[in-house]
Chain A
Amino acid sequence: MNRDVFLKRVRTAAAAGRSYRVTTNDRVERAAGYVGGGPDPIARFAEQATAAGGQVDVVDDPAAGVARLLQICAQHSARECIAWDHPLVDRWSVRAALAERGISVASAGVLPGEDAATRRRRLLSADVGVTSVGFAAAETGSLAMIDDGGCDTVASLLPPVHVALVSHEQVVADLFDLFDALESRKSADWPSSVVFITGPSKTGDVELKLTTGVHGPKHWHVIVSRS
C-alpha cells in the first residue's frame, strides 16, 4: 500500500483515539523497577544464571578460568571448538591452552578461501563454542552478545555446548544498566545483532515438560573471573 496513504490513516486514527487514552500513573519512576546486583553482583549473576539452567563457575583469575574451560571440554570429549576473536579470549590465552590439549580451535568468522557451505559445515560440526560477552547482567543472569566483527553470534548458537568467558568488569548490575551501556553504541555503529542469552535452549512445548537443547546449545556454561 502507498506509504503516505497508510501513514495518513494512522495519523487520523491516532488523533481520534486520543479521546480514549487511559489514565496511567505518570509519577511511576523507572527506579521503582530497578533490582540491581546487590552487594556482590557477580554472586547475584551466578545465582540467577544458575536458576535459568546454566552452569556457572566463579573463579579468582583467568588462569583458573581457563583450567575450568579445559575441564568442560574434556567432559564433553571436545575435539573441535569455535571461538570468538575477542580481546578477552586472547588475554586469557585460550587458543594456546586448548591447542595444547589437542583440541582444534577455529574462528567463527570466514576463514581465508572458505566458501559459505564449507564454513557452515565446519561450524555445525564444532563441539564447543567459546565466546566472551559484551556485558553480563547480574539482575537476570543474562549475557549480552554484541555481534561485532569477530564476535559471531553463531558461536553461541550452533555447537551443543556454549562456554562464555566473563571478566568482572563486564558485569553490570541491572537490566537498566545494561541498556545504559548499550546507549553509547546507539549513534554511529549500532550493531545489526545483539542477543541476550539467559540459559540453555529450552522448550516446554510438549505437555509443558521442560526439555533443553531443542535448537540451541543444551549445555550453557559461564565462567566469571573476579580479576
Chain B
Amino acid sequence: MADLDTVARESTSHDGGAVDFRAREHHEFLVASRQALESANLQLALARLGDTLGQRNRDAYAAYAGSAAMRELARGIKDRTLAELDQHLEALEASVRRNGGEVHYAADAADARAIVLELLKRRGCRSVVKSKSMTTEEIHLNPALQAAGIETVESDFGEYIIQLAGQRPSHLVAPAVHLTVGEVAEVLSRHAPEPLPADATALAQFARGQLRAKFAAADAGITGANFAVAETGTVVVVENEGNARFTTTLPRVHIAIAGIEKVIPRLADLPVFLKILARAATGQTMSIYTSLLSGPRRAGQANGPEEFHLVLLDNGRTRILEGPLRESLFCIRCGACLNACPVYRAVGGHAYGGVYAGPIGAVLTPLYDGLTQNEHLPHASSLCGACQAACPVKIAIPELLIKLRDRLHEAQHGSGMLESLAYRTWGVLLRSALGYRVATWLASRALGRSQASSRWLRWLPGALGGWTSSRDFPAPARERFRDWWRREGDRAPATPPRGLDSGGRA
C-alpha cells in the first residue's frame, strides 16, 4: 500500500498549509482518506465488509465450477455488444415501443433530468418513490426533483437512511455500510415519534412502515436498470428487499434510467449474467428478487404501471467507448471490486469523492468528472489486482488505472524535456553492450558499495526525490552479476552470496 502511505503523508502536510478545498470540486481524496483512517467506526465497518461480502464472493466463485466460464462468457457478450452498440440500442427501442413503452435519449445529466421532470410534469406526478440506482445518483436527480417541488423518497433501506442523513452512498450494494447501528438509529429517530432502539430489525421495521405509506401514495416510480434486453424490451432490476418491486408495481408511471452500456442483445444472454452477478455482489446464488419489466401493464392485468418510460443515458459514455478505457463500460455495478480492494477497505467510499467508489470508481470518476480534477484517484491503488480477480466480467482495472496515470502525467507535465532526455539516455545505454556495462559498473561501484550496509537509498536528488519522500529506493548491488559469475561461475551450482540481489524488502 505504498500509494496509500504517500497520500496519507501528503495529506498531513496539506493540512498545515492553507488549501482551499472549495476551489476544486473533487479535492478531498487526500484529506478524506486520512480522516477515514482515523475513524474507528468506519474502520470497523470496512473490516466487516471485507470479511463478509468479500469472503462470500470468493466462496461463491469457488463453489460454482462454471463461474470462470460464465465470467468469460459475460465479458465476451459485453465486448461484442459494445462493438455494435448503436444497433442494439435501436433494437431495444423497437422492442420497448412494441411493448407499449417509450424511449428517451439523454446526452448528459442535465438532459436526463429535464426529460424526467418533463415526463412527471406532463403526467401530473407530485410524488416519486425511487429504488436504488447509481445512474440517478450520477445525474443528481433527487435535488432536481426536490427543487421542482416533487416529493422524492428513496425506498431501498440503505438509501433511505442515506437520504435522511443527507449523505451520499458509500458502497455500490451497501450504501450505508459506513454507519453504525447507533448512528442509523439516531438518523431515523429524527423522523419517528419516539427514539428508536439501536437494533437493525427494529429499524428495518420502522422503515418498512414509513415506506409502505409512501408506496401507496406515490404517482411515479423511478428505477435504474441492471440490464436492458434489446430483444424483448425488458428492463431488469435485481434487488433483495422488494422495494424495487413496489416501485415498479404500484405507481401509475414507471421511469427507468439506464446507461447505454446496460443493453444486452438477447433474453438468452441474461442467465449468463444472473449466474454471476449475485455471486459477485453478495455471494448469493441469486438475489432475492429479479424483476423483468417489459412495458406498461397489458389489458387484463390488474397491476403494474400504466406508463413505461426508458431513459437512455450517454453522459460521457460514448467518449469512453471510442477509446482505450472502453473496457470500463463492461461494469455491472456489483461492488465486488470494492470489497476486494485494500485501498477501499482502508478509506471507504466517500474518500473517492465521486458517485462511484473503489477501484472501478477510481477509473470512472476521473473519466466522468475530469482527470486533473481527480488526480489522486488513478494513484489510489496498489495495483495488486484483487479487483480484477473479483470482477464478474474480469475488467482489467489495474491496466486501466495505469493508462489513466499515463494520461494524467501527460496532461500535467506534458512530455517534459528533462524526462525525455533521461529516458533517451537510458535507452541508448541499454541498447549498447558497452554502454550498459559501463553504466552498471559505475552504479555498483559508486552507489552499491557506498550503500552496501543498508542496501537502501533514503534520498534521491531533484525530481527523483518524489520516490524517496515516502519510501526508500533499492540500492544497486555492490557487485554486478557478471562480475560474480566470472569469479564464481565455474563452481556452480552455488547459491549467490547474500547481498548480491538488490530487491527483497517489500
Contacts and interface: CB of A to CB of B under 8 A. Distances in A.
B246 A157 contact: yes
Nearest to B158: A205
Contacts of B231: 186
A146 B314 CA distance: 32
Interface stretch (B171-179, B377-385, B428-436): B171-179
A203 B157 contact: yes
B98 to A, nearest CB: 9
A39 interface: no
Contacts of B157: 203, 205-206, 214-215
Contacts of B271: 175-176, 178-179
A130 interface: no
B292 A203 contact: no
Nearest to A111: B302
B156 A9 contact: no
B89 A10 contact: yes
A17 B321 contact: yes
A11 interface: yes
B75 interface: yes
Contacts of B284: 52, 198
B304 A24 contact: no
B138 interface: no
B90 interface: yes
A80 interface: no
Contacts of B289: 195-198, 201, 216
Interface in A48-84: 48, 51-52
Contact of B324 (A20, A154, A196): A20
B49 interface: yes
A22 B391 CA distance: 15
A102 interface: no
A24 B314 contact: no
B496 interface: no
A147 B297 CA distance: 9
Contact of A195 (B67, B291, B314): B291
A215 B211 contact: yes
B45 interface: yes
Contacts of B300: 149
B48 interface: yes
A29 B89 contact: no
B302 A152 contact: yes
Contacts of A91: none
26 contacts: A6-B312, A7-B90, A8-B86, A11-B86, A12-B318, A14-B84, A14-B86, A16-B323, A22-B79, A28-B72, A33-B272, A34-B66, A48-B285, A52-B286, A147-B301, A153-B245, A154-B302, A175-B275, A192-B99, A195-B291, A198-B287, A206-B158, A207-B181, A208-B174, A213-B205, A214-B241
Interface of A: 1-3, 6-14, 16-18, 20-22, 24-26, 28-30, 32-35, 48, 51-52, 108-110, 119-120, 124, 139-142, 147-149, 152-154, 157, 175-176, 178-180, 182-183, 186, 190-209, 211, 213-217
Interface of B: 45, 48-49, 52-53, 64, 66-67, 69-70, 72-73, 75-76, 79, 82-86, 89-90, 99, 105-107, 111, 155-158, 161, 174-177, 179-181, 184, 200-201, 203-205, 207-208, 211-212, 216, 231-232, 240-243, 245-246, 248-250, 260, 267-268, 270-272, 274-275, 282, 284-298, 300-304, 312, 314, 318-319, 321-324, 326-327, 396
